[in-house]
């Protein structure tokens, strides 16, 4: 199975400018390809991971990937598809975010050998590009009807679009032309929302240099219900461990719907086709075991955060699931419960009923008694049904924490 067939199996082949010609070109030898990543925040998201995986798959097939950080286009901003314009960030902020994004991408690629990857920043050429040069040498190749027909532009005409965002297509196309000239780059890849900009780039290369270039997109990943992928009730899932902890990252993948988990395995892991088909069979025959979800969570967390972080996240997950909180290290408790309600207990001890009231676990003493007698209250993983129980500081995990659980998943951390 060749590369494009593998991408099709993984659901990562959506649009290609000329699939037969591209396939023929890939079969003749290594090709240089690129994908752009604009610094719109200080971290990439798991949505960006789709394109990073695409670059890596091409590299594993012997091709030469270029990861382009948009230090120049990040100062402009592409049309977001929303009614409002993007906020323009300062040059200092864009430079800082560009460096962080570069650091996030680099671990996924190899920078040695015949298929060595390269990093680039389009500020290197856009930063010195003059307005007259842009208009004469680049702008003349862009018919206005051609630009208006692009979805990223046409969808904004009714609500309004500034010349700044309207011209983004020209800048991204110029990136492709520059990489074509500088590094013989013949292929741009990206998400399907970039199709208009990608094809504009291939057309610019044809018009300006009489060259042949290709474009390829993968579909935007969505949840099983069609909602936006990578968004939770707590917010976006980031690649940065400071913004989304490895445990939260692991839990996101563990929560994958049975209808989506196999497609996620295809997109976000390097498992073989046979291994994926085996896990697909497991989902169909033994969905309660959640083997596919556990495999997905472990592999993607290790890929992004490393083996130690993945093992730690899995250990926390198992401890919480089985109520074995005493096995958690102090930092693991802090990571697992950093976003749950917290209460500081005064004094060395407190009657449980009072503590449930003080920590807002129960709304009244009557509710507290009812929860205790019904077996709904757990202290550090152990069910407590004693109305006269006293919680002591000495009972705390590592002498510091009492984890109160009410029902199946309502946690409060008592310090």
Neighbours of 290 (CB within 10 A): 18
The first and second tokens of residue 69, run together, are: 């950080």
Q: What gap in Å lies between CA 218 and CA 213, rounded to an integer?
A: 17
Query: What six digits make up the tokens of 187?
Result: 């292929």
On the 0-12 / 13-18 / 19+ scale of CB atoms within 10 A, 5 is exposed
Each residue's pLDDT tens digit, 98-127: 999 999 999 999 999 999 999 999 999 999
The answer to whether 286 and 302 are in contact (CB under 8 A) is no
> pLDDT by residue for the chain (415 residues), tens digit each?
799 999 999 999 999 999 999 999 999 999 999 999 999 999 999 999 999 999 999 999 999 999 999 999 998 877 765 656 677 889 999 999 999 999 999 999 999 999 999 999 999 999 999 999 999 999 999 888 888 887 778 777 777 788 888 888 899 999 999 999 999 999 999 999 899 899 999 999 999 999 999 999 999 898 877 777 887 777 899 999 999 999 999 999 999 999 999 999 999 999 999 999 999 999 999 999 999 999 999 999 999 999 999 999 999 988 887 778 888 888 888 888 887 889 998 888 899 999 999 999 999 999 999 999 999 999 988 899 999 999 998 888 888 899 999 987 788 999 8
β-strand partners of 36:
68
pLDDT value for 226: 76
Assign a CATH topology to domain 3-218.
Answer: Rossmann fold (3.40.50)
| pTM reported for the whole predicted model | 0.86
C-alpha distances (whole Å) from 288 to each of 93, 106, 282, 411 are 46, 37, 9, 24
What are the backbone dihedrals phi and psi of residue 206, each rounded to the nearest 5 degrees, phi first? -65, -45
Q: How far apart are CA 26 and CA 63, in angstroms?
A: 8
How is the chain split into domains, by residue range? 3-218, 231-322, 342-414
Q: Look at residue 84 in the predicted model and tell me its pLDDT.
A: 64
Domains 3-218 and 342-414 share a fold: no
Give domain 231-322's CATH number out of 3.60.40.10, 3.20.20.210, 2.40.50.140, 1.10.240.10.
Answer: 1.10.240.10
Contact status, residue 217 vs residue 239, Cβ threshold 8 Å: no
Structural Rg of the chain based on CA atoms: 26
Residue 149 neighbours by CB under 8 Å, 6+ apart: none
- What's the confidence (pLDDT) of residue 89? 86
Q: What class has domain 342-414? A: alpha beta
| Measured distance CA(257)–CA(227) in Å, rounded | 12
The whole-angstrom separation of Cα 247 and Cα 394 is 27
């Amino acid at each position: 199975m060749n590369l494009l067939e593998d991408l099709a199996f993984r659901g990562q082949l959506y649009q290609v400018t000329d699939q037969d010609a591209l396939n023929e070109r890939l079969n003749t030898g290594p090709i240089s390809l690129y994908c752009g990543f604009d610094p719109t925040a200080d971290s990439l998201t798991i949505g960006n991971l789709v394109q990073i995986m695409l670059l890596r798959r091409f590299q594993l097939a012997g091709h030469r990937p270029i990861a382009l950080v948009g230090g120049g286009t990040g100062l402009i901003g592409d049309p977001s598809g929303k009614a409002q314009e993007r906020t323009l960030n300062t040059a200092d902020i864009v430079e800082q975010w560009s460096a962080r994004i570069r650091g996030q991408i680099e671990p996924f690629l190899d920078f040695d050998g015949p298929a060595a990857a390269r990093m680039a920043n389009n500020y290197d050429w856009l930063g010195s590009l003059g307005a007259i040069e842009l208009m004469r040498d680049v702008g003349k190749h862009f018919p206005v009807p051609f630009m208006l027909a692009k979805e990223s532009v046409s969808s904004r005409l009714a609500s309004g679009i500034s010349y700044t965002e309207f011209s983004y297509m020209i800048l991204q196309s110029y990136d492709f032309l520059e990489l074509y000239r500088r590094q013989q780059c013949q292929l741009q890849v990206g998400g399907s929302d970039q199709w208009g900009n990608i094809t504009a780039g291939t057309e610019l290369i044809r018009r300006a240099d009489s060259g042949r270039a290709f474009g390829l997109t993968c579909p935007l990943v969505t949840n099983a219900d069609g909602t936006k992928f990578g968004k939770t009730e707590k917010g976006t899932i980031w690649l940065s461990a400071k913004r989304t902890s490895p445990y939260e990252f692991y839990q996101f993948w563990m929560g994958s719907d049975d209808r989506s988990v196999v497609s996620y395995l295809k997109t976000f892991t390097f498992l073989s086709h046979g291994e994926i088909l085996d896990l697909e069979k497991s989902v169909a025959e033994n969905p309660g075991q959640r083997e596919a979800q556990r495999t997905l969570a472990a592999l993607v967390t290790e890929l992004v955060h490393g083996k130690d972080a993945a093992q730690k996240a899995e250990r926390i997950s198992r401890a919480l699931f089985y109520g074995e909180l005493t096995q958690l290290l102090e930092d693991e408790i802090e990571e697992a419960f950093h976003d749950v309600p917290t209460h500081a207990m005064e004094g060395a001890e407190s009657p449980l009923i009072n503590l449930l009231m003080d920590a807002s676990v129960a709304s009244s003493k009557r509710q507290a008694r009812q929860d205790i007698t019904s077996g709904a209250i757990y202290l550090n993983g152990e069910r407590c049904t004693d109305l006269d129980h006293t919680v002591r500081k000495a009972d705390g995990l590592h002498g510091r924490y009492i984890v109160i659980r009410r029902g199946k998943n309502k946690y409060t951390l008592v310090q």
